[in-house]
Amino acid sequence: MFRTNITAMQGYVPGEQPQGMEYVKLNTNENPYPCSPTVKAAIGRVLQVGLQRYPDPLATAFRERAAALLKDEVPGITPDWIMCGNGSDDILTIVTRSFVAPGGLIRFPRPSYVLYNTLAAIQGADSETVEFESDWTLDERFTATDERLQLAFLPNPNSPTGTVIAPSGVAHLAAALPCPLIVDEAYADFAETNCLGLVATNERILVTRTLSKSYSLAGLRFGFVVAQPQVIEQLNKVKDSYNCDSLSIAGATAAIDDQAHFVRTRDAILATRQRMTSALRGLGFDCIDSQANFVWCRHGQRDSRELYQQLKDAGVLVRYMNYAGWGEGLRISVGSDEQCDLLLAKLAAIV
């Protein structure tokens, strides 16, 4: 009844989303601060008009505002350079279906976002991972020719490490790759650099973004991809006609229009990240310097899985991750200062 690749695969297991339970929730990189109040106002206006009509299939209002916002970063950008999605997960699914045939190959770094493996399995394609170098760059194995290779994903900043490959390095990888490169910039708003500027230079570079993290809208499901217009035109064929709802289009548009709120909450997270990293190191953790809204760490003496469980028992949820053959650790989201203090107090009592 089902395709054999579907029955054979494991489903992707997202981070725990306990419903109605009280945790200090630092496991899925949600933003601790509320979204801009203009989001609620914009959604309220849609509710006044009503929901009985279909949304704009192309989310034009958002694309117009986003193109205006990004015009200094992407030379020549117009709304036709943008496609919106039901979260950036939707975008990642659409690009997989657009570029990858069953039997094809998708390449991505290890450790990185586990979902890429799931996307390959659903499509009936194979995955190939390339380990990061010790300085968190990728060598020529990432760009090696393979006749089955149809797509490469590069999360940048990467999860779970929070590390970044500079735009010049990404441009080099894209130029050497024989296939499109999706630069997954879910966390780029927390980083010092991003790759939006590369899109105009190479039609095979696509940059994806989400409003889940930096705009505090994980519950709304809204993401987008920036690519050259002839690429967007093909991707639009593959998306569901009405993949973004009326409320999310209005809310997302309002969110990017309030840059003051965005900058304020982002800067708060960056400051807390710095403090949290130092404090974790003081507690005996090895931490990588992060350019995302989370910190990847391992304790010098203590087992990561046990620490995860002890923290959970103490009411603090973090993400335990184990990459077979590579290693394990804790990915801890940067919460509010209060959440950070509570985490550190619990950890101090445990370790």
Residues 182-211 that bind a second copy (CB under 8 A): 203-204
Nearest to 303 by CA among 327, 335, 287, 336: 327
Question: Which amino acid is residue 107, in one-letter code?
Answer: R
- Total chain residues near a second copy (CB under 8 A): 77
Q: Which of 124, 169, 197, 284 binds a second copy (CB under 8 A)?
A: 124
Cβ(81)–Cβ(226) below 8 Å: yes
Site stretch for a second copy (CB under 8 A), options 194-202, 229-237, 288-296, 301-309: 229-237
Cα separation of 154 and 138, whole Å? 10
Buried-exposed string 253-279: b where 16+ CB fall within 10 A, e elsewhere? bbbbbbeebbeebbebbeebbeebbeb
CB atoms within 10 A of CB 5: 14
- Which of residues 3 and 71 has its CB atom nearest to a second copy in the complex? 3
- Out of 75, 76, 219, 282, the residue judged to bind a second copy by CB under 8 A: 219
Question: By C-beta, is 36 or 277 nearer to a second copy?
Answer: 36
57 sits near a second copy (criterion: CB under 8 A) = yes
Pick the binder of a second copy from 17, 78, 201, 278 (CB under 8 A).
Answer: 17
Q: Which listed range, 91-99, 141-149, 185-193, 298-306, lies at the site for a second copy (CB under 8 A)?
A: 91-99
Q: Is 87 near a second copy (CB under 8 A)?
A: yes
Angle, alpha carbons 241-98-170 (nearest 5°): 120
Question: Residues 24, 26, 39, 295: which binds a second copy (CB under 8 A)?
Answer: 39
Per CB under 8 A, which region of 133-141, 157-165, 240-248, 339-347 contacts a second copy? Answer: 240-248
**64 interacts with a second copy by CB under 8 A:** no
Question: What number of CA atoms fall less than 13 Å from residue 325's CA on the CB side?
Answer: 5
Residue from 170, 191, 217, 292 in contact with a second copy (CB under 8 A)? 217
31 counts as binding a second copy under rule CB under 8 A: yes
3-state class of 123 per DSSP?
helix
